[in-house]
């Protein structure tokens, strides 16, 4: 498997949100090459059915495999919740999601066994975080809350606008009035609102960012499989970005998230895969 070490990691999301996961991977595994795919032609996944999300995920994994990736990270909570089991059985390379790492971190963090989860409609309606947390720790009470406006607010660059504070209050007031002591940011866009959410929820509640936990898990997985890039053979173009539509808009947003310059984004007709 020596030649697999320099192969890239595939990371995909319904759009730009998964960039927060790619960012964590680039921080914690600085030697790894990344091929990122954002399904900008079909974003958002949050309101789509499980069958549709499995079909879209299969197409994307087939595309990423053409880039010779050694492992795949589903950097999208909705797809992790709804498609991970199906695609894991189907493909011959390791596939990870963000839900399990996030759930485990919350179970480890909570002292009083009460955890909150915020995410898209589909993630919350699937109840996947609750199921996975209960599989790990049946005694933990889970309170889930959908916050559908967070994604458009982030994408519109409203991070610092007064409206964002009010929308946070609208969605999270009931959550703050519970006695949870850990809360999972169950959508990859939400880490971009992390400081505002933390400010509103207060220091009592530990905010769990699954992007961070996922990068840690990826590191462990690559090490166990002896696929970690040792850094000696870093290629010139270490990060490449593909989308299904609107490349320039994606590129601009990517440059506000990633800690390095994203010079180009390529368009792929994903329905062909």
| CA separation for the pair 128, 165 (Å, rounded) | 27
Q: Kindly list the residues in this chain that would bind its own copies in the complex (CB under 8 A).
A: 40-43, 47-49, 52, 148-149, 151-153, 155-156, 158, 161-163, 166-167, 170, 245-246, 249, 271
Residues 6+ apart with CB under 8 A from 33: 6, 7, 8, 9, 229, 234, 235, 238, 239
Confirm or deny that 189 is annotated as ligand binding.
yes
Q: Are strands 71-74 and 9-13 parallel, antiparallel or unpaired?
A: parallel
Residue 120 in contact with residue 46, Cβ under 8 Å? yes
> Which residue lies nearer to its own copies by CB, 49 or 174?
49
Q: Check if the beta carbon of residue 147 is closer than 8 Å to that of residue 117.
A: no
Q: Tell me whether residue 38 is annotated as binding.
A: no
The residue (of 216 and 246) whose beta carbon lies closer to its own copies is 246
Residues 212 and 236 sit within 8 Å (Cβ to Cβ)? no
Least separation, in Å, of the C-beta of 111 and its own copies? 34
Strand 182-186, strand 141-146: pairing: unpaired
Tokens of 219: 């590191």
45 is in an annotated binding site: yes
Of residues 136 and 267, the one with the C-beta less far from its own copies: 267
Quote the least distance from Cβ 17 to its own copies, whole Å.
14
CB of residue 253 vs its own copies: minimum separation in angstroms?
11
- CA-CA-CA-CA dihedral for 157, 159, 162, 165, to nearest 10: 140
Provide the CA 50 distance to its chain's centre, in angstroms. 17
In the bound state with its own copies, the residue whose beta carbon lies nearer, of 36 and 150, is 150
Q: Nearest to residue 177, comparing CAs of 114, 255, 259?
A: 114
13 assigned binding-site residue: yes
In whole angstroms, the minimum distance from the beta carbon of 37 to its own copies comes to 16
Active-site residue, selected from the candidate residues 187, 192, 215, 268? 187
Q: Is residue 212 annotated as involved in ligand binding?
A: no
Closer to its own copies by CB, 36 or 171: give it: 171
Report the candidate in 70, 87, 144 with the shortest Cα–Cα distance to residue 114: 144
Planar angle of CA 174, 177, 179, nearest 5 degrees:
125
Q: Do the annotations mark residue 97 as ligand-binding? A: no
Residue among 11, 25, 76, 107 flagged as catalytic:
76
Tell me if residue 76 is catalytic: yes
Binding residues for substrate: 13-14, 45-46, 77-78, 188-189
Catalytic residues: 76, 187
Binding residues: 13-14, 45-46, 77-78, 188-189
């Amino acid at each position: 498997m020596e030649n697999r070490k320099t192969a890239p990691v595939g990371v995909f999301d319904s759009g730009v949100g998964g960039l927060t996961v790619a960012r964590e991977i680039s921080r914690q595994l600085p030697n790894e090459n990344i091929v990122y795919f954002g399904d900008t032609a079909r974003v958002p996944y949050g309101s789509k059915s499980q069958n549709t999300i499995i079909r879209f995920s299969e197409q994307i994994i087939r595309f990423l495999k053409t880039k010779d990736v050694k492992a795949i990270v589903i950097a999208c909570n909705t797809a992790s919740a709804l498609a991970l089991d199906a695609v894991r059985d189907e493909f011959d390379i390791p596939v990870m999601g963000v839900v399990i790492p996030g759930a485990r971190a919350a179970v480890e963090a909570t002292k009083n066994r009460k955890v909150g989860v915020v995410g898209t409609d589909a993630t919350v309606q699937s109840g996947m975080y609750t199921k996975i947390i209960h599989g790990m720790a049946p005694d933990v009470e889970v309170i889930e809350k959908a916050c559908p406006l967070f994604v458009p607010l982030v994408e519109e660059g409203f991070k610092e606008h007064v409206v964002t504070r009010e929308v946070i209050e609208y969605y999270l007031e009931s959550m703050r009035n519970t006695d949870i002591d850990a809360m999972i940011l169950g959508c990859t866009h939400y880490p971009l609102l992390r400081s505002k959410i933390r400010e509103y929820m207060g220091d009592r509640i530990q905010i769990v960012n699954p992007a961070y936990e996922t990068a840690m898990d990826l590191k462990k997985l690559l090490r166990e499989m002896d696929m970690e890039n040792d850094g000696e053979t870093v290629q010139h173009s270490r990060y490449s970005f593909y989308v299904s539509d609107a490349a320039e808009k994606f590129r601009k947003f990517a440059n506000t998230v990633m800690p390095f310059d994203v010079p180009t984004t390529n368009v792929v007709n994903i329905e062909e895969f």
